[in-house]
Chains A and B, each alone.
Chain A
């Protein structure tokens, strides 16, 4: 049962353009969402997060949008840079004592071409 889904295994974008990575979830108990970036041979690195009380959170070139009614979130990277090429994971966490457990999507491979 895949509670967090990233339906696009890969995305290719030109340098300078916008990258949009999408994520859907099914568990309505999730109320905290995170994006991680992962380079080969490295562990995931935290990028940005959003609480369910918000619908948008920005950090520099990265913006995460949350649509609770659609159970959908997206990560926008503007402008995209070749160094952004990596695997991006969406993750979600539930309430109460469950914040120690993250449920991850399968990841999307982003390739930014110069």
Chain B
């Protein structure tokens, strides 16, 4: 158990809908990262938050947004869903803003999103 909790574990929804994925980081970790793993793809970085502020951004679609709340949990909002958005979405957390340099980051189990 990495200490990072993601809910829900599985989500099935229709095209055009909007969903929210939730991530609770390890206790004390200030940084939260979101990654997407599509079929046959490695993990693709989406976005990083540190202590409530956006710190780094990857190739995140405009239909996607995220935020980190004062209690440090984070939500990833996916809207106007398309079939191609079906993927595993991982959240990771680390103690520092320095990301994965000299500090280990821990991944949650992921949320499997299926868009039908």
Contacts and interface: CB of A to CB of B under 8 A. Distances in A.
Contact of A44 (B48, B90, B101): B90
Interface in B6-53: 31, 33, 35, 40-45, 48, 50
Given A99-B99, A99-B101, A100-B100, A43 B42 contact: no
Contacts of B40: 106
B56 A100 contact: yes
Contacts of B58: 101
Contacts of A97: 55-56
Contact of B110 (A43, A49, A98, A100): A43
Given A32-B100, A100-B97, A101-B99, A43 B4 contact: yes
Interface in A52-66: none
B101 A93 contact: yes
A102 B43 contact: yes
A94 to B, nearest CB: 10
Contacts of A98: 56, 99
Interface centre among A34, A89, A100, A105 (most CB of B within 10 A): A100
A99 B98 contact: yes
Contacts of A101: 45, 48, 56, 58, 99
Interface string B82-116: 00000000101000011111001111111000000
B77 interface: no
B42 A106 contact: yes
Interface string A79-114: 000000000010101000111111111110000000
Interface in A14-59: 32, 34, 36, 41-46, 49
Nearest to A43: B107
Interface of B: 2, 4, 31, 33, 35, 40-45, 48, 50, 55-56, 58, 90, 92, 97-101, 104-110
17 contacts: A4-B42, A34-B100, A41-B109, A43-B2, A43-B90, A44-B107, A45-B2, A46-B105, A97-B55, A100-B48, A100-B55, A101-B56, A102-B35, A102-B100, A104-B35, A105-B42, A106-B41
